[in-house]
Amino acid sequence: MSEKPQAKSSLMAMELEVEAEGREWMRQRLEQKLQAQADQEGLVFPPQRKKNKASAHRVDAAKKRQRRH
């Protein structure tokens, strides 16, 4: 009888492993499709973040926080 819990545990471990493999496969497939689309449109993938100054909204919010304290 001690084999059943171990078999169930083993089955659960296999399930989790296969789920993780499936998620990774889907992530890679999506990345390939997005890269193909970006290549077709002459874009860069993954997109590069613009290095701008802090937005006015963030600056205003920071000033409001400072005033409260």
Domain boundaries, the chain: 3-68
55: left (phi over 0), alpha (psi -120 to 50) or beta: beta
Q: What are phi and psi for residue 28, nearest 5 degrees?
A: -65, -40
In whole angstroms, what is the distance from residue 37 CA to residue 31 CA? 10
- Single pTM value for the model: 0.51
Residue 1 is predicted with a pLDDT of 47
In whole angstroms, what is the distance from residue 66 CA to residue 68 CA? 5
Average pLDDT across each block of 10 residues of the chain; the chain has 69 residues. List them in order.
68 95 98 91 78 67 70
The residue assigned the tokens 């002459």 is 42
Residue 55 is predicted with a pLDDT of 62
